[in-house]
Structure 1
Amino acid sequence: MHNSFSKKDFYNELQERFPEVDFLLDEPMKKHTTFRIGGPADIYVEPSVSQVVPLIAFLKDSEVPFMVIGNGSNLLVSDDGIEGVVISMGKSSSEVIIDEAKCEIFAEAGAMLSSVANRAAEVGLTGLEFASGIPGSIGGAVYMNAGAYGGEMKDVLTSVKLLNADGQVEEIPVDKLDLSYRHSVLMEKPGIVLGAKLQLAAGDVSEIKATIEDIRQKRIEKQPLNFPSAGSTFKRPEGFFAGKLIDDAGLRGYTVGNAQVSEKHCGFVINKSDATASDVLKLMKDVDEKVYEKFGVHLTPEVRIIGRNVN
């Protein structure tokens, strides 16, 4: 995959072998991240859940590097792009099945959290309201135990349908996922989320919708939703709030290139217009250094930094 000739050859081979799958060559990743930042993926694809299993088996046999992403809402992709194949569990893998009698939902990895939360609300299922404004997919939310407004995935998750390192599809109960603050075992152990089962409870439709609307209003008031970002840039340090530390260090509005610490919420780094990954990385490094200098606290990225030459 190191030169354009082999990349093009492999792209042609993929198209021949998987004619029903749409592969894209040198696809800009800024089209596929909420940050709107990132160089090209050598090859990009959005397969269905049934297509992804044989595709990954073939990539492993071919010894071609690959990476699986969700909605790209928590990613910073390097300006040099991503080597190999990027597999997005997106629109083609977003089926949602609701069992109202059991208050259960099964959602494929590409289903958007906000959409699943809204569908749950429509049928009077409560417990997922916290997720109604999170701009991620089910797969990404499980991977990082996403949460907001007092709730997180581990509160509702019962099991995960996983493609394991041996290429087998298995169902993993939630207690084997080691879910904690913005963490799951999947960060250390290879496995690809294909879907998740959620256990909710029966509730009142109007109350559930009122809670979702309340959360929506809070997000509008407090978050810089009018600029591309990857959500909270840093994890919450124990005993502190990252946004407050950044603000107290005098960094509200701090800018590098076209990346900026949001003036509305210092926990967010925003892309003001055509920011590069280098801008964001330099800004994050500066912010961490200045916060550490002032308060003796280091900030750990919550955003996943991926791609060529990021270290």
Structure 2
Amino acid sequence: MTNMMIYNELTAICGENNVFIDEPMSHHTLTKIGGKADVFVTPQTYEQVADVVRLNANYHLPFMLLGNGSNMIVKDGGVRGLVMYMSHLSSVRVEGTQLTAQGGAGIIHAAQIALEHSLTGLEFACGIPGSVGGAMVMNAGAYGGEVKDVIDHVKAVTPTGDLVILNKEDLALDYRTSIIGKKHYIVLEAVFKLEKGDAAEIKEKMADLTYRRESKQPLEYPSVGSVFKRPPGYFAGKLIQDSGLQGKGVGGAEVSTKHAGFIVNKNNATAADYIATIDMVRETVKQTFGVELELEAKIVGEDLTETAD
């Protein structure tokens, strides 16, 4: 089936303004890196999400869900098949102490709305640059808090287009993992159970966490965020720093001199540069300390050489 045939069927579902051919993924990733997506769709309703998923299931296309593009490295050859981007599904609402955020909302935005309603529990998320859906996939966390501390339930779509409600105990939330990612569910909305708090105290805590993040992380450059998971008994950044890798890299990518756990796009890096720098870091740390660093970020797509002909 051709990309144009898929385009026509998707426009019937989502409208012409929400379907794109050969969309540059570099426009949608925080690394500012990535080739083109064959077909790129931005549904506006839950029904459209389910319809797109069912269409994809019928044709068995390669499929990728894009949240905020914060934990993803897209290769230079781009992404085959269909990419679904949840940017239009980004509302957040509050009822009492319950906060409901759509899957495409930024988790930072959800934390800010919680503050505006004097709700405590999401302060830890005030600097996490991902979507709510992505936060559910990864059980995102920072500064001693994580999603599993405050989640109540999730409304999601299965890979066959069925709607499911998953309670906290169904989600199998653990360190940087959940049933959402393992079963390739698509989060439509997440409901957080928060508590009433003092707005001034919540604001002060968020300001402190923001300062700690900004003072330690290289936010002045595009990056994927924290590249590696924390190895048992170690800190990835400390291992990389002690391996003497800060300031080193391949092409336009570099291990940050500000925080060794970050690899930054310092000078128009390609995905090949970024991935080669990751490989260099992993190899050096393994040789120096005998520790195998495991990726927290995801690498997707194809190399340029794979699509050259």
Task: Please classify the TM superposition score into its range, dividing by the shorter chain length.
Answer: over 0.9
**Residues 49 and 194 in structure 1, CA contact (< 8 A), matched pair in contact too:** no
Distance between the aligned counterparts of 2:14 and 2:244, measured in 1? Answer: 53
| CA-to-aligned-CA distance 1:222-249 (integer Å, 9 cap, x gap) | 0000000011011110110000000000
**Residues 10 and 41 in structure 2, CA contact (< 8 A), matched pair in contact too:** no
CA RMSD after TM alignment: 1.5
| CA-to-aligned-CA distance 1:92-126 (integer Å, 9 cap, x gap) | 101212012xx111111011111110110011100
Distance between the aligned counterparts of 2:16 and 2:189, measured in 1? Answer: 22
Of 104, 107, 113, the residue aligned with 1:110 is 104
Runs of 4+ with >6 A deviation = none
Q: How many residues matched? A: 304
Stretch moving more, 281-290 or 44-53: 44-53
Residue 162 of structure 1 pairs with residue 162 of structure 2: no
**Residues 137 and 181 in structure 2, CA contact (< 8 A), matched pair in contact too:** yes
Shift of 1:217: 0.7
**For residues 78 and 46 of structure 1, do their structure 2 counterparts lie closer, same or farther at Cα, with a shift above 3 Å needed?**
same
What residue ranges of structure 2 are gaps of 5+ in the alignment? none
Distance between the aligned counterparts of 1:268 and 1:253, measured in 2? Answer: 11
Residue 31 of structure 1 pairs with residue 24 of structure 2: no
The letter of the residue matching 1:97 is: R
Residue 214 of structure 1 pairs with residue 211 of structure 2: no
> Which residue of the partner structure matches residue 233 of structure 2?
239
Identical columns (%): 46
Residue 191 of structure 1 pairs with residue 171 of structure 2: no
Of 68, 71, 81, the residue aligned with 1:71 is 68
Q: Aligned to 2:99, what secondary structure does the other structure show?
A: strand
What residue ranges of structure 1 are gaps of 5+ in the alignment? none
Q: Aligned to 2:31, what secondary structure does the other structure show?
A: coil
> Which residue of the partner structure matches residue 249 of structure 2?
255
**Residues 34 and 229 in structure 1, CA contact (< 8 A), matched pair in contact too:** yes
Q: Aligned to 1:93, what secondary structure does the other structure show?
A: coil
Of 108, 120, 125, the residue aligned with 2:119 is 125
Matches within 5 A, 1:173-192: 173-192=167-186
Shift of 1:196: 0.4
Matches within 5 A, 1:15-94: 15-19=11-15, 22-50=18-46, 51-90=48-87, 92-94=88-90
Q: Aligned to 2:293, what secondary structure does the other structure show?
A: coil
| CA-to-aligned-CA distance 1:276-307 (integer Å, 9 cap, x gap) | 11111111111111101110101011111111
What TM-score results when the alignment is normalised by the length of structure 2? 0.95
> Which residue of the partner structure matches residue 220 of structure 2?
226
